[in-house]
């Protein structure tokens, strides 16, 4: 494993490629992507469905392996890591937020949030304490004992965000985090992401919703597996994401 | 009519689309029904070889045991008697050969062939001075062949020939018709066989402890079917001689009336060779049916879980709940009928192999006749097993919401707060395993039941061996190391049943593991996304299976012992504790091994792929 000094860079890719199929049925889901995300930055990757943005996110988080290229996360090229080391990386350095929430239906909100801490081998009490803190932070302290089926979509996504934060990750990767939510729930989630941004959390959000992209420091457009454009937004969400994306009256 | 055609088409297409699962279902049900058919087919399966032996050995219709030769005249001249041979002296002796010691009834015969009861020589020649003929099953147990030497009550003889007879049940059931009168030290009636010698040789054998006081008279009747009536008329009473068990004196030497044994009683005693097998096969079939029930339930449950979207599509296209239920029931019941028929044929055709008449009889048993009971019971059990395991999931599928079925949402898992709390204190594989096991209590119950049945089957075999060993010790030195053909047959049958139990249980473990892995795809992918290693996930799935198998393995031990006691009566022994522990542990290891393959295969699919497909 090689460690390099990446300076202020939390995440960097070079010539990243992911191919599916062969010959005539070959699909380049990600085709030569170069990306740098600095610490504390919020990057939104936008594009239509099937453009490869979710695949890119899974590659960045070490959930899938690229066909070619490099991914540097936390100072190491994760494409060369073993499954074991990748698992450790996902546990310690990455937090995932999924469109479908992916909460365990049989676990309560607090049990879902503490799960990564238990997987990391933290003592149960410490894991529970941390989970309760995070639920309070996302405004769901009173819903800690609720099952996912007893929560609204927005509340479920906030539980999923709390779970992504439980290990204090270097970067949170969110895949269409508001894709399954209504306007009000989207507003709640946007507000939460803004809080995280203010706290210096590095965020990479994949979305096809311009309202959420508008809250990012930088918006990257993607089509057919390649980056087609980039827009810098000064000051990010500036603490009023709802106003920015027109969700607040 | 159109509705029936539609159900048929849908069922056929689905079966064609899931060939492997259909084959596994067929295998599971066929295994159970084959054993059931075998158990039912054994009824009367030896009658044909006995008839062939009776014809070849000019078997008597009635065998009379007399206390003096003078009793013969009245019987020879009795109404209905067309021919007779004897009376022949019958000496009770101790035979010693090849280091074996056994009891031997030595019948003194003329060197000329008799009109009735002419033992059919299968090797060597008939009796001569100093040369004896041994009943074939007994000869095999003693390990002697023509030309060998043996001693009878200390007198040395040459084995002149080996023969089969229809006048006495073969070793080791010689005393089951006509009884035995053996008071010789170290000789057990179960360890006694039949030997023919010349009359002068037989007369010189008796010792003071066992004087010569029994004579054998073989009678041929004008109407052989009236043998039982003849025996009742001229015998000691309505109970006749057939009620005299092993080790009991025949009474011929004590009572004035002769003991008469009709050929039907001898044929029934010959059937004892098979009756034990039947006693073993019927509960064995019940165990296999239970296993098949568990296998089919898991398999059908898994198939229906896979078919959720198909159910949604059918409903969206206008399919009624009745049509959905009928389609699933139809395809599984068709498989059950095919498996039932296959099991019936397999059992019917293999019955003669399992019930080979052995050395005591000549000829082959042939396939037994298909009785109405077999034809109805075997496919009936297949249908009941399938219906019992398919009905609930089929109705559940029919009642499911179209929208959620189209979304292919998995059946919500069960929550067990106490287990979740407990598991949070455990290492990651155990945490995941316990939570996975607790998600599907019905499947866990079926898995535990299946393991319990398997362990019970193996423990039954061990208990059988322990009982055989204990019985050999009880008989003491008298067994002389002689092989018991009935025990050998029981061992063969038990081995066949155990292999089928283990095979079916292995199939069941694979079904359950496959269903668990399928069900755990999303949580497995999720916890991998949250930082669990693939090894931890596969170990967790393995732990889930072993945890559910554990109570089954523990419960199977007393279940097996109780089952054997129920089948074997009071004279049963418990197997050694070490064997039992090894069985339970070995079963758990086998479950772990069988789960490892699908568990490892499950973790090879990238987590991203699963999570993305769940999102889509």
Q: What is the 3-state secondary structure (H, E, C) of B469-525?
A: HHHHHHHHHHHCCCCCHHHHHHHHHHHHHHHHHHHHHHHHHHHHHHHHHHHCHHHHH
How near does any CA of chain B get to the CA of A234, in Å? 33
On chain B, the residues whose CB falls within 8 A of the CB of A114 are 424
B535 and A84 in contact by Cβ < 8 A?
yes
Q: According to the model, what pLDDT value does residue B403 have?
A: 65
| Cα dihedral B478, B481, B482, B486 sign | positive
Paired residues of A221 in beta bridges: A46, A229
Q: Per mean pLDDT, which range of A122-136, A199-213, B38-52, B134-148 is the poorest?
A: B38-52
What average pLDDT does chain B have?
77
B530 and A83 in contact by Cβ < 8 A?
no
Residue B2 lies in a domain: no
Per-residue model confidence as pLDDT tens digits over B304-317: 666 776 777 777 66
Whole-angstrom distance, CA of residue B474 vs CA of residue B470: 6
Whole-angstrom distance, CA of residue A106 vs CA of residue A59: 29
Q: According to the model, what pLDDT value does residue B23 have?
A: 84
Over 90: is that where the pLDDT of A188 sits?
Answer: no
What Rg, from alpha-carbon coordinates, does chain B have?
32
Boundary (domain end) residue, out of B224, B244, B269: B269
Over 90: is that where the pLDDT of A132 sits?
Answer: yes
Q: How much is the average pLDDT of B173-188?
A: 62
B interface test, pick of A20, A104, A116 with most B CB neighbours within 10 Å: A104
Q: According to the model, what pLDDT value does residue A144 have?
A: 93
Buried b (16+ CB within 10 A) or exposed e, B51-66: bbbbebbbbbbbbbbb
B528 and A90 in contact by Cβ < 8 A?
yes
Per-residue model confidence as pLDDT tens digits over B408-449: 555 667 777 888 888 888 888 888 888 888 888 877 887 888
Q: According to the model, what pLDDT value does residue A66 have?
A: 92
Q: According to the model, what pLDDT value does residue B365 have?
A: 52
> pLDDT class for B198, splitting at 50, 70, 90?
very high
Angle at B365 between CA B359 and CA B366, to 5 degrees: 145
Whole-angstrom distance, CA of residue B596 vs CA of residue B590: 10
How near does any CA of chain B get to the CA of A59, in Å? 9
Q: According to the model, what pLDDT value does residue A226 have?
A: 92
Whole-angstrom distance, CA of residue B400 vs CA of residue A133: 39
Instruction: Report the DSSP pairing between strands A27-38 and A94-97.
Output: unpaired
Q: According to the model, what pLDDT value does residue B104 have?
A: 84
Over 50: is that where the pLDDT of B99 sits?
Answer: yes
Tell which phi-psi region holds residue B66, choosing left (phi > 0), alpha (psi between -120 and 50) or beta: beta
Half-sphere CA count of B249, side-chain side, radius 13 A: 13
Boundaries of every domain in chain A: 39-65+80-244
Q: How much is the average pLDDT of B288-304?
A: 71
On chain A, the residues whose CB falls within 8 A of the CB of B428 are 118-119, 121
Q: How much is the average pLDDT of A214-223?
A: 89
Residue B553 lies in a domain: yes
On chain B, the residues whose CB falls within 8 A of the CB of A116 are 530-531
Say how many C-beta atoms besides its own lie within 10 A of residue B330's C-beta: 20
A64 and B609 in contact by Cβ < 8 A?
yes
Per-residue model confidence as pLDDT tens digits over A24-42: 788 888 999 999 999 999 9
> pLDDT class for B397, splitting at 50, 70, 90?
confident
Per-residue model confidence as pLDDT tens digits over B373-392: 888 888 888 888 788 777 87
Whole-angstrom distance, CA of residue B148 vs CA of residue B146: 6
Over 50: is that where the pLDDT of B590 sits?
Answer: yes
Q: According to the model, what pLDDT value does residue B405 have?
A: 63
Q: According to the model, what pLDDT value does residue B550 have?
A: 92
Per-residue model confidence as pLDDT tens digits over B104-120: 888 899 888 888 888 88
Q: According to the model, what pLDDT value does residue B253 have?
A: 45
How near does any CA of chain B get to the CA of A112, in Å? 11
> pLDDT class for B42, splitting at 50, 70, 90?
low
Q: According to the model, what pLDDT value does residue B176 have?
A: 64
Share of chain B above pLDDT 70, in %: 77
Over 70: is that where the pLDDT of B472 sits?
Answer: no
Over 70: is that where the pLDDT of B144 sits?
Answer: yes
> pLDDT class for B76, splitting at 50, 70, 90?
confident
Per-residue model confidence as pLDDT tens digits over A44-70: 999 888 888 888 998 999 888 899 999
Chain A residue with minimum CA distance to B615: A100
Q: According to the model, what pLDDT value does residue B481 have?
A: 56
Residue B345 lies in a domain: no
The reply to whether the predicted model has a pTM over 0.80 is no
Q: According to the model, what pLDDT value does residue B598 have?
A: 82
Residue A58 has its nearest CB partner, among B414, B534, B608, at B608
Biggest CA–CA distance in chain A, Å, is 55
Q: How much is the average pLDDT of B204-230?
A: 83
Q: How much is the average pLDDT of A68-79?
A: 90
Tell me the residue length of chain A: 249
Q: How much is the average pLDDT of B328-332?
A: 83
Q: According to the model, what pLDDT value does residue B267 have?
A: 78
Q: According to the model, what pLDDT value does residue B455 have?
A: 87
Residue indicated by tokens 């706290």: A199
Q: What are phi and psi of A63, to 5 degrees?
A: -85, -20
Boundary (domain end) residue, out of B236, B269, B302: B269
Chains A–B, number of C-beta pairs less than 8 Å apart: 95
- A71/B78: higher pLDDT: A71
On chain A, the residues whose CB falls within 8 A of the CB of B608 are 55, 58, 63-64
- B555/B352: higher pLDDT: B555
Instruction: Report yes or no: B431 at the A interface, CB cutoff 8 Å.
Output: yes
Q: According to the model, what pLDDT value does residue A2 have?
A: 45
Boundary (domain end) residue, out of B212, B237, B269: B269
Q: How much is the average pLDDT of A105-124?
A: 88
Query: In the numeric block, which tokens belong to residue A48?
Result: 């239509």
Over 50: is that where the pLDDT of A115 sits?
Answer: yes
B532 and A84 in contact by Cβ < 8 A?
no
Share of chain A above pLDDT 70, in %: 91
On chain B, the residues whose CB falls within 8 A of the CB of A175 are 615
Q: How much is the average pLDDT of B506-514?
A: 77
**Segment (H or E) for A35:** strand A27-38
> How far apart, in Å, do the first and last CA atoms of chain A sit?
51
Residue indicated by tokens 């392996």: A65
Residue B432 lies in a domain: yes
- B353/B31: higher pLDDT: B31
Q: According to the model, what pLDDT value does residue A129 have?
A: 94
Looking at residue A207, what DSSP letter applies? E
Q: Per mean pLDDT, which range of A198-207, B28-37, B181-190 is the poorest?
A: B181-190
Instruction: Report yes or no: B255 at the A interface, CB cutoff 8 Å.
Output: no
Instruction: Report yes or no: B425 at the A interface, CB cutoff 8 Å.
Output: yes
Q: According to the model, what pLDDT value does residue B366 have?
A: 55
A interface test, pick of B412, B430, B530 with most A CB neighbours within 10 Å: B530
Q: How much is the average pLDDT of B328-348?
A: 87
> pLDDT class for B66, splitting at 50, 70, 90?
confident
B608 and A115 in contact by Cβ < 8 A?
no
Structural domain of B96:
51-269
On chain B, the residues whose CB falls within 8 A of the CB of A131 are none
Q: According to the model, what pLDDT value does residue B500 have?
A: 76
Over 60: is that where the pLDDT of A6 sits?
Answer: no
On chain A, the residues whose CB falls within 8 A of the CB of B425 are 124
Share of chain B above pLDDT 90, in %: 5
> pLDDT class for B294, splitting at 50, 70, 90?
confident
On chain A, the residues whose CB falls within 8 A of the CB of B532 are 87, 91, 119
On chain A, the residues whose CB falls within 8 A of the CB of B615 are 54, 98-100, 175-176
Biggest CA–CA distance in chain B, Å, is 100
B interface test, pick of A105, A127, A149, A177 with most B CB neighbours within 10 Å: A105
**Segment (H or E) for B601:** helix B577-604
Q: According to the model, what pLDDT value does residue A244 have?
A: 36
Residues of A with CB under 8 A from a CB of B: 54-55, 58, 61, 63-65, 83-84, 87-88, 90-92, 96, 98-100, 102, 104-107, 111, 114-116, 118-121, 124, 127, 147, 149, 163, 167, 175-176
On chain B, the residues whose CB falls within 8 A of the CB of A106 are 412-416, 420, 435, 438-439
Per-residue model confidence as pLDDT tens digits over B513-562: 777 787 788 888 888 888 888 888 888 888 888 888 899 999 988 888 88
- B272/B478: higher pLDDT: B272
Q: According to the model, what pLDDT value does residue B245 have?
A: 36
Chain A residue with minimum CA distance to B435: A106
Measured torsion, CA atoms of residues A145, A150, A154, A156, in degrees rounded to the nearest 10: 50
> pLDDT class for B241, splitting at 50, 70, 90?
very low
Over 60: is that where the pLDDT of A4 sits?
Answer: no
On chain B, the residues whose CB falls within 8 A of the CB of A127 are 424
Q: According to the model, what pLDDT value does residue B262 have?
A: 87
CATH class of A39-65+80-244: alpha beta
Q: According to the model, what pLDDT value does residue B410 have?
A: 59
Nearest residue to B566 via CA among B314, B270, B284, B362:
B284
Chain A residue with minimum CA distance to B613: A100
- A215/B556: higher pLDDT: B556
Nearest residue to A157 via CA among A193, A197, A203, A200:
A193
- B380/B271: higher pLDDT: B380
How near does any CA of chain B get to the CA of A219, in Å? 23
Q: What domain count does chain B have?
A: 2
């Amino acid at each position: 494993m090689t460690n390099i000094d990446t300076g202020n860079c939390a995440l960097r890719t070079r010539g990243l490629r992911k191919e599916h199929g062969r010959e005539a049925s070959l699909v380049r889901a990600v085709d030569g992507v170069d990306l740098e995300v600095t610490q504390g930055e919020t990057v939104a990757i936008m594009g239509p469905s099937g453009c490869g943005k979710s695949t890119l996110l899974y590659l960045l988080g070490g959930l899938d392996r690229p066909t070619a290229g490099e991914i540097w996360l936390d100072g190491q090229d994760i494409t060369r890591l073993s499954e074991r080391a990748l698992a450790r990386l996902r546990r310690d350095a990455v937090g995932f937020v999924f469109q479908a929430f992916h909460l365990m239906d049989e676990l309560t909100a607090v049990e879902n949030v503490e799960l990564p801490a238990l997987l990391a081998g933290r003592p149960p009490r410490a894991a529970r304490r941390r989970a309760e803190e995070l639920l309070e932070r996302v405004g769901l302290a009173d819903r800690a004992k609720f099952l996912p089926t007893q929560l609204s979509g927005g509340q479920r996504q906030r539980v999923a965000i709390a779970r992504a934060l439980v290990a204090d990750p270097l970067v949170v990767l969110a895949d269409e985090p508001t894709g399954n939510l209504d306007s009000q729930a989207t507003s709640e989630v946007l507000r939460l992401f803004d809080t995280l941004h203010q706290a210096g959390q590095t965020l990479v959000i994949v979305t096809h919703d311009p309202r959420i992209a508008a809250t990012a420091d930088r918006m990257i457009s993607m089509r057919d597996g390649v980056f087609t454009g980039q827009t810098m937004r000064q000051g990010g969400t500036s603490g009023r994401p709802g106003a920015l994306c027109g969700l607040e009256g | 009519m159109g509705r029936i055609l539609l159900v048929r088409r849908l069922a056929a297409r689905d079966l064609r689309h899931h060939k492997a699962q259909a084959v596994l279902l067929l295998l599971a049900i066929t295994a159970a029904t084959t054993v059931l058919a075998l158990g039912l087919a054994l009824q009367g399966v030896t009658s044909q070889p006995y008839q062939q032996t009776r014809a070849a050995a000019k078997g008597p219709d009635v065998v009379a045991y007399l206390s003096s030769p003078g009793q013969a005249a009245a019987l020879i001249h009795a109404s209905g008697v067309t021919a007779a041979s004897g009376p022949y002296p019958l000496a009770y002796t101790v035979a010693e050969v090849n280091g074996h010691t056994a009891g031997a009834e030595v019948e003194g015969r003329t060197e000329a062939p008799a009109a009735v009861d002419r033992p059919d020589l299968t090797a060597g020649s008939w009796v001569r001075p100093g040369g004896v003929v041994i009943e074939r099953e007994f000869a095999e147990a003693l390990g002697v062949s023509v030309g060998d030497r043996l001693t009878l009550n200390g007198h040395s003889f040459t084995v002149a020939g080996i023969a089969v007879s229809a006048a006495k049940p073969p070793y080791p059931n010689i005393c089951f018709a006509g009884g035995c009168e053996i008071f010789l030290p170290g000789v057990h009636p179960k360890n006694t066989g039949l030997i023919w010698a010349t009359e002068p040789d037989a007369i010189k054998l008796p010792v003071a402890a066992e004087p010569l006081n029994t004579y054998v008279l073989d009678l041929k009747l004008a109407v052989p079917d009236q043998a039982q009536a003849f025996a009742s008329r001229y015998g000691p009473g309505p109970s006749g001689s057939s009620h005299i068990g092993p080790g009991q004196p025949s009474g011929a030497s004590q009572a004035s009336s002769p003991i008469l044994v009709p050929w039907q009683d001898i044929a029934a005693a010959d059937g004892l060779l098979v009756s034990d097998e039947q006693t073993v096969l019927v509960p064995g079939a019940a165990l296999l049916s239970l296993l098949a029930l568990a296998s089919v339930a898991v398999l059908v449950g898994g198939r229906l879980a896979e078919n959720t979207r198909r159910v949604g599509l059918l409903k969206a296209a206008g399919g009624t709940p009745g049509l959905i239920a009928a389609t699933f029931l139809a395809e599984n019941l068709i498989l059950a009928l095919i498996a039932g028929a296959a099991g019936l044929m397999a059992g019917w055709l293999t019955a003669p192999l399992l019930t080979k008449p052995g050395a005591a009889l000549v000829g082959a048993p042939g396939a037994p006749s298909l009785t109405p009971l077999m034809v109805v019971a075997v496919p009936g059990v297949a249908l009941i097993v399938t219906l019992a395991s398919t009905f609930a999931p089929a109705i559940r599928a029919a009642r499911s919401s179209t929208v959620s079925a189209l979304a292919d949402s998995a059946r919500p898992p069960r929550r067990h707060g106490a287990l979740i709390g407990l598991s949070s204190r455990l290492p990651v594989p155990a945490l995941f395993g316990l939570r996975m096991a607790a998600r599907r209590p019905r499947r866990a119950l079926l898995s535990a039941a299946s393991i319990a049945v398997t362990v019970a089957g193996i423990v039954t075999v061990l208990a059988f061996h322990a009982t055989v060993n204990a019985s050999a010790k009880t008989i003491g030195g008298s067994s002389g190391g002689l092989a018991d053909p009935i025990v050998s047959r029981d061992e063969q049958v038990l081995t066949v049943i155990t292999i089928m139990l283990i095979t079916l249980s292995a199939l069941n473990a694979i079904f359950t593991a496959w269903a668990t892995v399928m069900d755990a795809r999303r949580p497995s992918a999720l916890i991998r996304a949250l930082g669990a290693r693939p090894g931890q996930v596969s170990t967790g799935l393995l732990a889930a299976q072993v945890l559910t198998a554990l109570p089954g393995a523990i419960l199977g031990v007393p279940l097996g012992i109780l089952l054997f006691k129920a089948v074997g009566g009071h004279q049963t022994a418990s197997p050694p504790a070490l064997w039992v522990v090894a069985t339970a542990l070995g079963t758990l290891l086998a479950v772990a091994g069988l789960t490892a393959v699908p568990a490892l295969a499950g973790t090879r699919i990238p987590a991203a792929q699963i999570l993305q497909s769940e999102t889509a």
